[in-house]
């Protein structure tokens, strides 16, 4: 063997080349199957019309719709202030929150009650005196009439010479004396009306003072007017408080609202996708601006979503659009929309769902009703060449073809194709290499979840 290799080393290079060519020609030729075209595996998605609801997403913080502060309206020492009434504690409407020493106010009420009784007695006395005076005046008037008749009779006798003139003088003095008594009673009776009015005014003042004293007494005991959560505790038992001191603050959790920020362009697109007349059942024809605004508020749906447990759990609450702030933020260009969530404490809806708490950062999604069928493709299936957007599709021969498309609105990570695709087309999701039209493909259908 060694001698053979030694001889080969001394062969000319041309002879060696001829030997190699003869060896290659002697090898068997490749089979037809080995020379066949190899299909490139790709993933594809068959597109079809889907009912999709346009939506926009904004973010904001939860705020309570009502806050109530328990403010001292009278002064005194706190006799009742439950130590359990701490920040975060839940209270119900009607629960006693604090009580101020009421003894001084009870005494004031008793005094005002006595003043009322005294004023009522004064009025009653004036009314009795007025009745007695009227009766006396009636008697005195009758006596005056008798004296007047007697005087007239004597005057006739004096004229006929039957009696002396001195009897007429006596009759005149008696008549005048009685007339003076009647005049005095009439004067006294005329003073009853203003005295009675003064007494009635005194009674009204006494009653007002009594009402004020009773209100002060009632203000010593304060109960919660709402169901809610304590957010501020401003005093403790035995402290002396004065009017204006804030003792407790409670915020309702029955309903909350969120002012979420949205981009005006996204909102305009959402509203533009709505067929207001069809959705709201309004007859065709022009609509007033106020009708359109009201209808949009009724057909749009809002949902508030919060991440619970550090994002491990996502909770959602249905909401109602209540108003638009009408102001655009100078820094972000966003506009505020306020939504309200009701019955956040109703455990019957979902026992696992906690109430929304003020200050929580939440996501607000506003969506319209499902629209007509649309063709959607994942964003990763789109390719761009200058101003042209295209996708690769699988033709009937399982070969790669390019199709230029026109894009519609985005729905999450999927884009609507408004032109360039038809229902049933198979869109290539994974990019083959090389991406040459006519390339034979081994198609693996991708089943994306419908949304």
For residue 31, pLDDT beyond 70: no
User: What pLDDT is stored for residue 33 in this prediction?
Assistant: 46
Question: Can you give the pLDDT at residue 120?
Answer: 94
Round to whole Å and give the CA distance between 182 and 188: 10
* SS3 (DSSP) at 16: helix
For residue 68, CA distances in Å to 12, 71, 72, 230 come to 110, 9, 13, 10
Which pLDDT tens digit goes with each residue over 50-83? Answer: 877 778 899 999 998 899 999 999 999 999 887 7
The pair of structure tokens assigned to 5 is: 């290799």
Residue 450: what pLDDT? Answer: 45
Question: Contact at 8 Å (CB) between 337 and 257?
Answer: no
**pLDDT for the residue 295:** 63
pLDDT at 297: 67
Q: Report pLDDT for 190.
A: 85
Asked if residue 247 has pLDDT above 70, the reply is yes
- Tens digits of residue pLDDT in 288-343: 444 545 666 677 889 999 887 665 678 888 898 888 887 888 888 898 889 999 87
103-160 and 192-218 are packed helices; what angle lies between their axes, rounded to 10 degrees? 170
pLDDT band at 449 (very low <50, low <70, confident <90, very high): very low
Over the stretch 20-30, which tens digit does the pLDDT of each residue have?
545 555 555 54
Return the bridge partners of 383, or none.
390
Q: What is the pLDDT at residue 245? A: 93
Let me know: does 402 contact 390? Beta carbons within 8 Å. yes
pLDDT (tens digit, 9 = 90+) per residue, 186-237?
888 888 888 889 999 999 999 999 999 999 999 999 899 998 889 999 888 8
DSSP string, 165-192: HHHHHHHHHHHHHHHHHHHHHHHHHHTH
DSSP state of 220: T
Residue 350 has a pLDDT of: 60
Task: Report the C-alpha gap between 371 and 269 in whole angstroms.
Answer: 13
How far apart CA 92 and CA 228 sit, in angstroms, is: 7
pLDDT at 3 over 60: no
Averaged pLDDT score across all residues of the chain:
82
Residue pLDDT, tens place only, 263-276:
888 888 777 766 65
Identify the residue with better confidence: 240 or 5: 240
Q: How confident is the model at residue 284 (pLDDT cuts 50, 70, 90)?
A: very low
Torsion of Cα atoms, 91 then 94 then 98 then 103, to 10°: -170
Nearest-Å Rg of the Cα atoms of the chain is 52
pLDDT in tens, 329-385: 888 889 888 999 987 666 555 666 677 888 889 999 988 877 677 888 999 899 999
Question: Within 281-394, where are the H helices?
Answer: 289-299
Cα three-residue angle 285-291-297, rounded to 5 degrees: 125
- The residue-averaged pLDDT of 416-431 equals 90
320: buried, middle or exposed (CB in 10 Å: 19+, 13-18, 0-12)?
A: middle
Enumerate domains of the chain plus CATH numbers: 42-52+373-445 (2.40.420.20), 66-100+221-251 (2.40.50.100), 104-218 (1.10.287)
Q: What percent of the chain has pLDDT over 70?
A: 82
């Amino acid at each position: 063997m060694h001698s053979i290799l030694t001889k080969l080393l001394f062969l000319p290079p041309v002879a060696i080349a001829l030997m190699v060519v003869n060896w290659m020609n002697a090898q068997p030729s490749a089979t037809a199957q080995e020379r066949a075209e190899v299909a490139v595996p790709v993933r594809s998605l068959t597109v079809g019309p889907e009912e999709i609801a346009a939506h926009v997403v904004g973010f904001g913080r939860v705020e309570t719709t009502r806050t109530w502060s328990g403010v001292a309206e009278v002064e005194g020492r706190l006799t009742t202030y439950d130590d359990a009434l701490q920040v975060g504690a839940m209270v119900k409407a009607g629960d006693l929150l604090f009580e101020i020493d009421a003894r001084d106010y009870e005494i004031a009420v008793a005094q005002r009650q006595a003043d009322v009784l005294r004023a009522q007695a004064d009025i009653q006395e004036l009314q009795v005196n007025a009745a007695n005076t009227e009766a006396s005046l009636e008697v005195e008037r009758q006596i005056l009439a008798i004296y007047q008749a007697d005087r007239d009779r004597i005057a006739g006798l004096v004229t006929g010479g039957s009696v002396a003139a001195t009897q007429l003088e006596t009759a005149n003095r008696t008549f005048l004396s009685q007339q003076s008594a009647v005049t005095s009673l009439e004067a006294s009776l005329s003073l009853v009306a203003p005295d009675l009015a003064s007494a009635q005014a005194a009674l009204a003042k006494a009653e007002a003072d009594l009402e004020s004293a009773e209100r002060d007494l009632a203000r010593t005991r304060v109960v919660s007017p709402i169901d809610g959560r304590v957010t501020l505790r401003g005093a403790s038992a035995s402290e002396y408080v004065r009017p204006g001191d804030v003792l407790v603050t409670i915020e309702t959790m029955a309903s909350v609202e969120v002012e979420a920020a949205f981009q005006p362009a996204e909102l305009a697109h959402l509203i533009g996708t709505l067929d207001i007349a069809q959705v709201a059942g309004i007859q065709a024809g022009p609509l007033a601006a106020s009708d359109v605004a009201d209808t949009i508020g009724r057909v749009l749906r809002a949902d508030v979503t919060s991440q619970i447990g550090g994002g491990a759990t996502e909770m959602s609450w249905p909401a109602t659009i209540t108003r638009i702030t009408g102001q655009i933020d100078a820094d972000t260009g966003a506009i505020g929309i306020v939504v309200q969530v009701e019955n956040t404490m109703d455990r019957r809806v979902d026992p696992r769902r906690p109430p929304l708490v003020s200050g929580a950062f939440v996501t607000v999604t506003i969506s319209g009703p499902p629209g007509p069928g649309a063709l959607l493709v994942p964003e990763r299936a789109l390719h761009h060449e200058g101003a042209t957007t295209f996708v690769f599709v699988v033709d009937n021969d399982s070969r790669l073809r390019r199709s230029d498309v026109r894009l519609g609105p985005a729905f999450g990570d999927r884009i609507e194709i408004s032109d360039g695709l038809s229902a049933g087309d198979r869109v290539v999701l994974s990019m083959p290499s090389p991406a040459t039209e006519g390339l034979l493909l081994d198609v693996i259908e991708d089943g994306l979840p419908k949304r």
